[in-house]
Structure 1
Amino acid sequence: MTDFSKRRTMMVDTQVRPSDVTKFPIIDAMLLVAREDFVPTAQREAAYVGENLSLGHGRVLLEPRSLAKMLDVLAIAGDELVLDVGCTLGYSTAVIARMAQAVVGVEEDADMAREAQDALVAAGADNAVVHEGPLVEGAAQHGPYDVIAIQGGVTDVPARLLDQLKEGGRIAAMFMDGPLGEVRVGYKREGKISWRLAFNATAPVLPGFDKEMTFNF
């Protein structure tokens, strides 16, 4: 029988800490949340690999390093409300739930949303809820949010999502340019977002986050 607790410790020691992520709340959350419970049953053995885990339909569970570094730059506090966009089967939402006051995961795939909610309940994450709906729409009815995390690639972040971020809040998104991407953190000041580069990473672009193409004739 697989000892997943040992794999969690190894994940933190070989993928998270070497990436200069040392904040206790992040380390603690990633040691405690059973990643294998938030992937399809057939992929439990692959839950702790150091790469994005394909969940089908162009969706992935971000590699532990990318998620940890994203949480590191967002510096979520225990009294904050977080929006977790593209939560798939709920792993990132469960990790954030251990750091924040409350978290709302957004998932547009109905089956994933249902499984995520069930997994969060089973994990005892009673300060987390999954909102089923288009990722680009967020979940305005529960906001505004102190922090927004986007769990996948984007080429653009729509204004209707940025509008759900509180003044003074932070957002992290992985901007993709072909196969290469960089995670940027945005800070909202006087209603505008200023972005800065945090680190390089890669993931498929999430549904609806492609910049609309314009053609000049």
Structure 2
Amino acid sequence: MHDYSDARRNMVLTQLLPNRVTDDRVLDAMGTVPRERFVPVSHRAVAYVDEDVAIGYGRFLMEPMLFARLLQAADIRSHEAVLDIGCGAGYSAAVLARLASAVVAVEEQTDLAEQAGELIEQLGVQNAAVITGPLTEGYAAQAPYDVIVVEGALEVEPKALLDQLADGGRLVAVMNDKGRVGHATLFTNYAGAVARRTLFDAATPVLSAFRKTVGFVF
């Protein structure tokens, strides 16, 4: 079996550190979790390239640099609970499990959800659970969450997800709701009032569940 440890190390050294990722916990988590396990075998050679990697069903594994910067912006603490929306094959959940106390990962594509559960179990991750269900609904049964991470771009604000934030909770996502250019965005809940802050320009494929509904045009 091919050893990808050098590829993980190079990802940290050439993609994350030069792009303002300085959180040691994020660097350690992404330098440890075997990203290649979460992509199709035919794509393992490009698992660590600095771009989104297709994982099937029209879904993508987010570019390492963008994912790392979103996690850094979320400022996840070791005692916090995290909701991972659109976990795909489970890579994001495995990384988040190294940063948080508990992770609830939601995936609406059944095959990907099953794969995520199997891979997380194989890696010995014990503080993450994969739930199959609509991405837009989150998982209110375990709410509120200290942090919510969305694994793809959104064309509409995720209102149901924002309602599941704890007081002081943060949601990070790439928002494509104000033009063609996407922006990494941080939402913070202050006693029921949600503030929104644009962090930096960002591009990643839009999650179909969060596409804007196009009305009829005469």
2: CA distance between counterparts of 1:117 and 1:95?
14
Q: Tell me, yes or no, if structure 1 residue 191 matches structure 2 residue 192.
A: yes
User: Is the CA contact (8 Å cut-off) linking 2:175 and 2:185 kept in structure 1?
Assistant: yes
2: CA distance between counterparts of 1:124 and 1:142?
22
SS at the partner of 1:6?
Answer: helix
Tell me which residue corresponds to 2:18. Answer: 18
- The structural deviation recorded for 1:215 is 5.9
- Structure 1 residue runs without a partner (length 5+): none
User: Is the CA contact (8 Å cut-off) linking 2:66 and 2:202 kept in structure 1?
Assistant: yes
1:183 maps to a residue whose letter is A
Tell me which residue corresponds to 1:161. Answer: 161
Tell me which residue corresponds to 2:133. Answer: 133
User: Is the CA contact (8 Å cut-off) linking 2:26 and 2:72 kept in structure 1?
Assistant: yes
User: Is the CA contact (8 Å cut-off) linking 2:188 and 2:195 kept in structure 1?
Assistant: yes
Q: How does 1:161-180 map to 2 (within 5 A)?
A: 161-176=161-176, 179-180=180-181
How many residues of Structure 1 are paired with residues of Structure 2 in the alignment?
217
Residue by residue over 1:103-125, the C-alpha shift from the partner in whole angstroms, topping out at 9 and shown as x without a partner, is: 11110000000000100111111
- The structural deviation recorded for 1:58 is 2.6
TM-score (norm 2): 0.94
Tell me which residue corresponds to 2:38. Answer: 38
Structure 1 residue ranges, 4+ long, deviating more than 4 angstroms after superposition? 214-217
Greater shift, 42-51 or 63-72, is seen at 42-51
1: CA distance between counterparts of 2:180 and 2:159?
25
2: CA distance between counterparts of 1:181 and 1:174?
6
2: CA distance between counterparts of 1:128 and 1:183?
25
- The structural deviation recorded for 1:137 is 0.8
Identity of aligned residues (%): 44
SS at the partner of 2:174?
Answer: strand
- Structure 2 residue runs without a partner (length 5+): none
2:199 maps to a residue whose letter is A
User: Is the CA contact (8 Å cut-off) linking 2:39 and 2:54 kept in structure 1?
Assistant: no
User: Is the CA contact (8 Å cut-off) linking 1:153 and 1:204 kept in structure 2?
Assistant: yes
1: CA distance between counterparts of 2:198 and 2:34?
30
1: CA distance between counterparts of 2:128 and 2:96?
9
2: CA distance between counterparts of 1:153 and 1:159?
15
- The structural deviation recorded for 1:200 is 1.7
Tell me which residue corresponds to 1:101. Answer: 101
SS at the partner of 1:171?
Answer: strand
Tell me which residue corresponds to 1:203. Answer: 204
